[in-house]
Amino acid sequence: MDKLRSLTWICSAEFALNADNVPVSGLSKLTDLRILGADASFLDLLARMELPALQKVTSAQFNPGFWSFLRSHGSKLVELDLVNFSAEDLEIPILEVCPNIRVLYLYSQLDQCEVAMLQIEHFLTGSATANSLEKLILRMCTWEKNEDNRWATFFSTFESTQFPQLNEIQSLACRWPKKERDIPKSKWVRWSEILLEQGINLTDATRKKWRPRLK
């Protein structure tokens, strides 16, 4: 187990914990952890371990144990992937507990725009800044047309001052126009140009960004 570098956990088994049975120095090489299903006691166990090499966490589990785990290890993380995350799940300002995150993934099958809004409204408090965040990935592959107005608000009101290093927002649903006549009608072009004014590139699933036409 000490040589394990990647772990995917999907198990609801409970762990009976006490000070004597926690392998504090175990999983010392673990860098990539995926928690797709877990009892809170498993996350409490991880919270008590050192996990010195941990860098990336993917989680679809947001029970109290997850927040305990994040408080213990958040400062180590450079990538965080939140799967099916909603406002009701949030207990702590994530980007303050995880100040060194460079890449943040967001995904929801429910209210996609709400999840994106969380990045501004709930991941930081007050005037706090996320000084390390470089890339935000919106992993929504489909895009509901009736949400366009809400997304327009998201992009037009995005305030980059709290994210001084952010240079890319990637949307897997982004589609760039292929024909010249479609450019003026494209919401993606419009939103891209809004973000470019703040030095942020909007990219599609292949990380292709829009290059504004010379005026």
> pLDDT digit string (tens) for 127-148?
678 899 999 988 775 666 666 7
- Starting at the earlier edge strand, list the strands of the sheet with 135-138: 6-11, 32-38, 56-59, 79-83, 103-107, 135-138, 168-171, 201-203
pTM over 0.75: yes
Q: What does the pLDDT read at residue 112?
A: 55
- Distances in whole angstroms, Cα of residue 111 to Cα of each of 9, 61, 117, 119: 26, 18, 10, 14
Per residue in 157-192, pLDDT (tens digit) is 777 888 899 999 998 888 999 998 999 999 999 999
What's the CA gap between 172 and 154, in Å, rounded? 16
Residue 116 has pLDDT above 60, yes or no: no
- Average pLDDT of the chain, as a whole number: 84
CA-wise closest residue to 213 among 193, 187, 197:
193
Q: pLDDT value at position 126?
A: 62
Structural tokens at position 37: 């299903």
The neighbouring-strand residues paired with 6 are 32
At which residue do the structure tokens 């290093």 appear? 165
Q: Where are the alpha helices (DSSP H) in the chain?
A: 40-48, 64-73, 94-97, 112-121, 148-156, 187-196
Between 110 and 121, the higher pLDDT residue:
121
Percentage of residues in the chain with pLDDT exceeding 90? Answer: 46
User: Distance from CA of residue 164 to its chain's centroid?
Assistant: 17
For the stretch 71-92, pLDDT in tens is: 999 999 999 998 877 666 777 8
CA distances from 112 to 86, 118, 137, 141, 157 (A): 9, 10, 12, 10, 17
pLDDT at 88 (0 to 100): 67
Closest CA to 14 of 50, 43, 36: 43
